[in-house]
Amino acid sequence: MSDELRDLYQDVIIEHSKRPRNFRELGSEAHKAEGYNPLCGDEVTVYIDIENDMVKDVSFKGSGCAISTASASVMTELLKGKSRAEAEGLFKTFHDLVTGRGKNGADMENLGKLAVFAGVSEFPTRVKCAVLCWHTLRAALEGKGEAVTTE
């Protein structure tokens, strides 16, 4: 990755962590799940409203480091209007990306904004911050009542 690209990615992460998108609760009809990352102290609650198997609305609340907040912000922005299957696909693609398994894979082309988190794979302790919201999203989709933890 070039320094220029790295700086650009860094800017996007900082911008999203300072002004997170969809940072609000959804009504009682929405699915929700809570997630914790004890390693860093990140806490997130993800809300998702599914209608006809499509993501009608998705949002989050919580407190955490810049990476976890930016990741949740970008995730909610991307998921709106996607089908449940597309959401699952993005989860897998993102997981592969931040754990370093997605490099040079065909899916990389479809990452869009998620690509800003490519650098996270170089910092193993940060991977959990980045994937926390996605694991929590999956729990919300599956309707599990238990809190998710990265440990």
Which residues sit at the interface with Zn ion, rule CB under 5 A? 40, 42, 65, 68, 129
Q: Of 135, 150, 148, which is closest to residue 92 (Cα–Cα)?
A: 135
Is 62 within 8 Å of 147 (Cβ atoms)?
A: no
CB of residue 77 vs Zn ion: minimum separation in angstroms?
19
Which CB sits closer to Zn ion, 104 or 125?
A: 125
CB of residue 129 vs Zn ion: minimum separation in angstroms?
3
CB of residue 139 vs Zn ion: minimum separation in angstroms?
18
Residue 39: exposed, middle, or buried by beta-carbon count in 10 A (0-12, 13-18, 19+)? middle
Which CB sits closer to Zn ion, 83 or 150?
A: 150
Which CB sits closer to Zn ion, 78 or 132?
A: 132
d(CA 22, CA 61): 9
